[in-house]
Structures are given as C-alpha cells and as structure tokens.
Amino acid sequence: MKVKLKLYATLGKYLPPTAKRNEIDLTVDETTSVLDLLTSHNVPMETCHLILVNGVFSPPANAANATLKNGDIVAVWPPVAGG
C-alpha cells in the first residue's frame, strides 16, 4: 500500500535526499505501523513529540499499535511550539 511520510523541523534530515518539501511517497506492507515507518527511516522515537496521521493526533507511545491504511499521511515533529 502507499503512504506519505512527512518529517518536519529537525527531523527533516531523516528523509532521503529525493524527498521534496519535507515529504516522500512510500510503498509499504499492509501491516506497517507508525513505529515501523519511523524506525525504517532511523528516526529516533524519543524525538517524535507530535505525530499526526491524516491530521489527527496519534500518541507517540502508541506508535507500535497504530497500523497504517492505504493512503495515510503521517506527519511528525520534534517538540515545537509557537503563537
């Protein structure tokens, strides 16, 4: 199935050089979890503070159980804030 991975701020360095605009389209197995997706790109989980799947918060502590569906968009940030 196809998913999109977006890594922002200091996590952008974990994307392959072919990535543009902080995102990349990927083909992954049906059982892939958020944790699988991030570890396969060597993203340290302790740096993943905010994970949105299709814009909805997905608790980092639950990343192993968050199984992805075809077309999902996973966006991840380290601790950030603003206003």
Partner 1 sequence: MAWMRKLLRVNLTTGNIVEEPLNMEWAQKYLGQRGLASKYLTEEIDPKVDPLSPDNKLIFCTGPLTGTSASTGGRYSVITKGALTGAIACSNSGGYFGPELKFAGYDMIIFEGKAEKPVYLTVIDDKVTLQDAGDLWGKSVWDTEAAIKSKHQDSMMHIASIGIAGENQVLYSCIVNDLHRAAGRSGVGAVMGSKNLKAVAVRGTGGVKVDDFMEFMKTTEAGKKVLADNAVTGEGLPTYGTQVLMNVINEAGALPTRNSRDVQFEGAHDISAEAMAEPSGKDGKPNLLANQGCFACTIACGRISKINEEHFTVVNKPEYWHASGGLEYEAAWALGAATGINDLDALTYANFICNEQGLDPISFGATLGAAMELWDLGILNSEITGGLELKFGSAEALTAAVEATGKAEGFGAELGMGSARLTAKYGKPELSQTVKGQEFPAYDPRGIQGMGLTYATSNRGACHLRSYTVSSEILGIPEKTDPLVTEGKAGLVKAFQDATAAVDSAGLCVFTTFAWTLEDIAPQVNAACEGEWTVDTMLEAGERIWNLERQFNNQAGFTAADDKLPERLMKDAAKTGPAEGLVSGLDVMLPEYYELRGWTADGVPTNETMARLRL
Residues contributing to the site for partner 1 (CB under 8 A):
6, 8-10, 12, 21-22, 49-50, 52, 54-57, 59, 73, 75, 77-83
Of 9 and 26, nearer to partner 1 (C-beta) is 9
Q: How far is the CB of 78 from partner 1 (least distance, A)?
A: 6
From residue 66, give the alpha-carbon distance in Å to each of 32, 53, 55, 63. 9, 9, 14, 5
Of 2 and 79, nearer to partner 1 (C-beta) is 79
Give the containing element (helix H, strand E) for 1.
Answer: none
Of 71 and 79, nearer to partner 1 (C-beta) is 79
> How far is Cα 42 from Cα 23, in angstroms, rounded to an integer?
15
